[in-house]
Amino acid sequence: MALPTVNSSRYAMTVPSTGQELEFRPFLVKEEKILMVALESKDNKSIVKALKNILNACIYDDINIDSLTSFDLEELFLRLRSKSVGETANLQLKCEECGAGTPVEINLEEIKMSDLPSSKSIMITDNIGVEFNYPSLDTVGDLSLAPDMAPDKQMKTTMKLIVRCIDSIFNDDEVWSAKDQTEKELVTFIEDLNSEQFAKITDFFGSLPQLKHDINFSCITCKHEQTITLEGIQSFFM
């Protein structure tokens, strides 16, 4: 005789970049195990792949996961995790003074995504600007900025990300679609900017929405009072 099937509850969530409403179910134990293995590996590609597979499995609506922005992915998974495992997460935070770990419980419902930038157009000069697309899984692909990456490699990776996100370049009279330009031409355009102009572009990427949460806690070992800022989806579950 076949065992009974447990029906899953349905919930709704919103895609930050588009406002699209999605219906989803909580993820299953077998799906959570895949995610935990990916998170413990600390390998960005494995984590993204696991998140994509879980979202594809749990979302009922027709949506191209690869077209989602990186901040869409983080927001959707946070809401999915909250309904699947619980609205709290227990973390071990490292003391900045003595290095000891302190257990801290955070409420996932209190973690909010920052607002979208007011525009995706950046004026480089008075009459020349760049229209960007938000970074998606399609555009980011294999790119990953590790904290310990050499400065020259960081710059090369940043340049690739910027170029992949360019939608068009325009002035008062004409618009040049990025699709009609070679990667080399786009790289040359960016490299020919001065530091002030380039900073306008990096400021745009720095202003993109992200999961960010400040936690005030006292170390259980040395009693040092401190504030730690959690950023990125891995920070809330490791």
pLDDT at residue 208, rounded to an integer: 87
- 10 Å Cβ neighbour count for 50? 22
Question: Is the per-residue pLDDT at 203 higher than 80?
Answer: yes
Average pLDDT, the chain: 87
Provide the pLDDT confidence category of residue 151 given band limits of 50, 70 and 90.
confident
pLDDT in tens, 89-116: 889 999 999 999 999 998 888 888 888 8
Rounded mean pLDDT, 189-212: 92
User: What is the model's pTM?
Assistant: 0.75
More confident residue, 148 or 40: 40
Round to whole Å and give the CA distance between 156 and 226: 35
CA 221 distance to own-chain centroid:
33
Residues 6 or more apart whose Cβ sits within 8 Å of residue 78: 108, 111, 211, 233, 236
Q: Which helix (H) or strand (E) holds 200?
A: helix 195-206
